[in-house]
Amino acid sequence: MSLSFRLTPTSSPSPPSHLRFSPLSRSNLNPSPIHCPSPLKFIFSSPIRCVTGGSDHVSVTRARPGWENALSAAASLYPLYVSVGGVVACLKPSAFQWFVQRGPTSYSLSLGLIMLAMGLTLELKDLFSLFLQRPLSILFGCVAQYTIMPALGTLISRLLGLPPPLSVGLILLACCPGGTASNVVTLIAQGDVPLSIVMTVCTTLGAVLLTPLLTNILAGTYVPVDAIKLSISTMQVVVAPILLGSYFQSAFPGAVKVVTPFAPLFAVLASSLLACSVFSENVVRLKSSLLGASSACDLSTFAHVQAILSGELGLVILSVLLLHFAGFFLGYIASAICGSREPQRRAVSIEVGMQNSSLGVVLATSHFTSPLVALPPAMSAVIMNIMGSSLGFIWRHIDPSDQTTAPQIND
């Protein structure tokens, strides 16, 4: 999800160049406050307060109209949309047939529009300023993203003995950049939201080279992987739309201001449609596995469930669950070992554990012949958002200031 919000300085005489950002107005939690020019747009659904340097006066933006709040609230229900869509895909796969028949073109176009919506909310010059102020924290998060998850994807696929198509799909998912839904979850979890946002943008831009390269290295042993074509596709459906959206923001600010309130909800619905459509493609295959497991009518309920989960469906669910759970855990541990404070630990944990599953779906359907390659990314869209949202709500009730932290290494 990519939701837009504008931060403006207070009307006090203090210079506007010293703004200290902190999620949920806990300005004392961040060890090195981020200073950035105003205005700056962020990608989340709830307001972040800003405090002027040397003052405890808190300033928030003007109250938004009720219809904008309603759109933001609707966009925050992304986990609900993909969950309901997954149920519909299971019960009536034909409901998504109109979209599936036009794939993979429809998949690429929808992801391109999602990234364009994200670009409309970004001011790259301000994000670059944030990067210069905290380069080590941001670089650490990006390195963690592209080392922890790819290694986990490869390890889990081998430990579970996944068939080659599912192994490739899981590794491809693990090599994708962080998902923008992580920004909203970080806000809920009282994490370092600015750090999360810049990490998302940096890993997304880096996906042009790193996603194809890592996929070729780790999944090339299962099937041939054309890294150059993967790189071109990533450039076309991710980076180019983001840069185009950022250009539109500076070239046509009036038109963008009108469109921006609707962009987040559109991106959320398009992402849900994309994931559920790919999932519906594999429902027939999965149902055959379920029917085979239920053919023995004398099985007990426990044995029946065990038989179902022992098939391809169970392998996919288990592998995706393990991938994201381990990503959340190791992201937090790695950040703690490096001396980060609790808000930064939570941001890195969520950013590492949540992937851009839509990109995985598009690359899988565009460059691999087996439809099963797209199944792990499609299942991830549902499982990952449920897991991430649950983690965010758990952390929301644990005050980060109460956590004991090691001394932080300043950038």
Q: pLDDT band at residue 62, thresholds of 50, 70 and 90? A: low
With 90 as the cut, is the pLDDT of residue 229 above it?
A: no
Mean local confidence (pLDDT), 1-9 = 43
Q: CA 97, CA 7: separation in Å to the nearest integer? A: 42
Closest CA to 41 of 2, 73, 69, 4: 4
Q: Which of 113-127, 240-254, 270-284 has the highest mean pLDDT?
A: 240-254
Mean local confidence (pLDDT), 263-269 = 82
In the prediction, which pLDDT does 334 show?
92
In the prediction, which pLDDT does 28 show?
40
For 208, the enclosing helix (H) or strand (E) is helix 193-219
Q: pLDDT band at residue 289, thresholds of 50, 70 and 90? A: low
Do 95 and 280 contact (CB within 8 A), yes or no? Answer: yes
Return the minimum-mean-pLDDT range out of 204-208, 292-296, 318-322. Answer: 292-296
Helix 263-281 and helix 375-396: axis angle, to 10°?
130
Handedness of CA 241, 244, 250, 252 (dihedral sign): negative
- Identify which has the larger pLDDT, 405 or 265: 265
Closest CA to 380 of 399, 395, 364: 364
Q: CA 29, CA 192: separation in Å to the nearest integer? A: 9
Q: CA 406, CA 58: separation in Å to the nearest integer? A: 29
How is 140-160 classified by DSSP, letter by letter? HHHHHHHHHHHHHHHHHHHHT
Domain ranges in the chain? 4-58+65-287+300-402
Neighbours of 12 (CB within 10 A): 11
| Residue 362 in tokens | 């598009």
With 50 as the cut, is the pLDDT of residue 9 above it?
A: no
Q: pLDDT band at residue 159, thresholds of 50, 70 and 90? A: very high
Q: DSSP letter at 299?
A: -
CA 266-168-84 angle, 5° bins: 35
SS percent in the chain: helix, strand, coil, step 5: 70, 5, 25
With 60 as the cut, is the pLDDT of residue 91 above it?
A: yes
In the prediction, which pLDDT does 12 show?
40
- Identify which has the larger pLDDT, 294 or 318: 318
With 50 as the cut, is the pLDDT of residue 281 above it?
A: yes
Q: CA 214, CA 211: separation in Å to the nearest integer? A: 5
Question: What percent of the chain has pLDDT above 70?
Answer: 75
In the prediction, which pLDDT does 101 show?
83
Do 110 and 269 contact (CB within 8 A), yes or no? Answer: no
Top CATH class, 4-58+65-287+300-402: mainly alpha
In the prediction, which pLDDT does 313 show?
75
The pLDDT tens digits for 347-374 are: 999 999 998 888 888 888 888 888 888 8
Do 361 and 278 contact (CB within 8 A), yes or no? Answer: yes
With 50 as the cut, is the pLDDT of residue 144 above it?
A: yes
Please confirm whether the linkage preceding 79 is cis (ω < 30° from 0). no
| Residue 375 in tokens | 């199944």
Q: pLDDT band at residue 20, thresholds of 50, 70 and 90? A: very low
In the prediction, which pLDDT does 94 show?
84
With 70 as the cut, is the pLDDT of residue 108 above it?
A: yes
With 50 as the cut, is the pLDDT of residue 59 above it?
A: no
With 80 as the cut, is the pLDDT of residue 228 above it?
A: yes
With 60 as the cut, is the pLDDT of residue 208 above it?
A: yes
In the prediction, which pLDDT does 345 show?
92
Q: CA 175, CA 230: separation in Å to the nearest integer? A: 12
With 80 as the cut, is the pLDDT of residue 204 above it?
A: yes
- SS3 at position 411: coil
- Residues belonging to the chain: 411
With 60 as the cut, is the pLDDT of residue 32 above it?
A: no
With 70 as the cut, is the pLDDT of residue 241 above it?
A: yes
How is 209-270 classified by DSSP, letter by letter? HHHHHHHHHHHTTTS---HHHHHHHHIIIIIHHHHHHHHHHHH-HHHHHHHGGGHHHHHHHH
Answering whether pTM is above 0.85, one says no
Round the average pLDDT of the chain to a whole number and report it: 75
In the prediction, which pLDDT does 174 show?
93
Please confirm whether the linkage preceding 104 is cis (ω < 30° from 0). yes
Q: CA 336, CA 226: separation in Å to the nearest integer? A: 37
The pLDDT tens digits for 160-203 are: 988 999 999 999 999 998 877 787 788 778 888 788 888 888 88
- Identify which has the larger pLDDT, 313 or 306: 313
For 352, the enclosing helix (H) or strand (E) is helix 342-353
Q: Which residues pair with 41 in a beta bridge?
A: 6
- Identify which has the larger pLDDT, 270 or 53: 270
Q: DSSP letter at 61?
A: P
Mean local confidence (pLDDT), 249-272 = 84
